[in-house]
Amino acid sequence: MELTLNNGVTMPALGLGVFQSPPEQTTAAVQSALDAGYRHIDTAAAYGNEREVGEGIRRSGLDRSDVFIETKVWVSDYGYDETLHAWDKAVGKLGVEQLDLLILHQPAPDRFAKTIAAYKALETLLRDGRVRAIGVSNFMPHHLKQLLAETDVVPAVNQIELHPYFAQPDVQAADAASGILTQAWSPIGGITFYPGWGDEHRRNVMEDPAIAAVGQAHGKSPAQVMLRWHLQQGRSAIPKSTNPGRIAENFDVFDFELSTEQLAAIDALDSGVRSGPDPDEARLDRFAMPIPEA
């Protein structure tokens, strides 16, 4: 299943995420995903495993053109010249000459002038053909409004925390109004936890009885139900795993369909409570993390 971005580029709707995947496990996970049928891999400079992602793609034996590679610029590389160099670092580690999608990892509103400059560098990379599409991650509607007012190219993608317990309908609506595709990180809510965030209200969506009931009706797991929910509502989803069985299970979501009632039952689970960091909060130590040259 492919989605068409606002510049005409097509992107596989379902991708493998490698956030928190140890580098020593990432190459095998990418290989397993590509063997299972995935053709979209999502990584980031801040994950520290771009090199291993590239190695997994090479070991798969697939042509470069068959795999959609998405990665992200970290905040410490924001700024016009710095972001152009971030592209150099990314393609060097991945071992490719062109990126399919390059996005800004955080809005970083405490230094938004540098965020704007970084995005203008993405526009240059797009114009030069060094990337096929550009976008953002964790941008809330007010961040998008400011970005759109100061730049020329509408982001193709906005990757945000999105799962049944935190669906961010306001962000989805703002994305849709501008022709931006919403992409879900943590699409299977409750699997990815952030130390120090959401500890007091942490719930695992995998254990929700409403989702379990939908799964039983289709002979599918809760994870498969959640991924199908994303796909049927027109979103891209980036599930993460290093377990080959789980990776394959997460891709086995194209042979069933949720009813209107089932989609509505999942929609009704939204609590409005995020599990990850608030994009409006500055995380000075984390934002300052340098990205190695190689």
Annotated catalytic sites, by residue? 47
Q: Measured between alpha carbons, how far is 104 from 275 in angstroms, rounded to an integer?
A: 20
Specify whether the CB–CB gap between 193 and 233 falls below 8 A: no
For residue 104, what are its two tokens? Answer: 């800004």
> Is residue 49 exposed (0-12), middle (13-18) or buried (19+ Cβ within 10 Å)?
buried
Residue 292: phi and psi, rounded to 5, are: -60, 155
3-state SS, 223-288, equals HHHHHHHHHHCCCEEECECCCHHHHHHHHCCCCCCCCHHHHHHHHCCCCCCCCCCCCCCCCHHHHC
Q: Measured between alpha carbons, how far is 13 from 38 in angstroms, rounded to an integer?
A: 10
- What is the longest distance spanned by two Cα atoms in the chain? 53
Specify whether the CB–CB gap between 119 and 158 falls below 8 A: no
Specify whether the CB–CB gap between 175 and 158 falls below 8 A: yes
Q: Measured between alpha carbons, how far is 235 from 200 in angstroms, rounded to an integer?
A: 29
Rounded to 10 degrees, what is the CA torsion of 42, 46, 50, 52? Answer: -110
Residue 254: phi and psi, rounded to 5, are: -110, 10
For residue 53, what are its two tokens? Answer: 């992602």
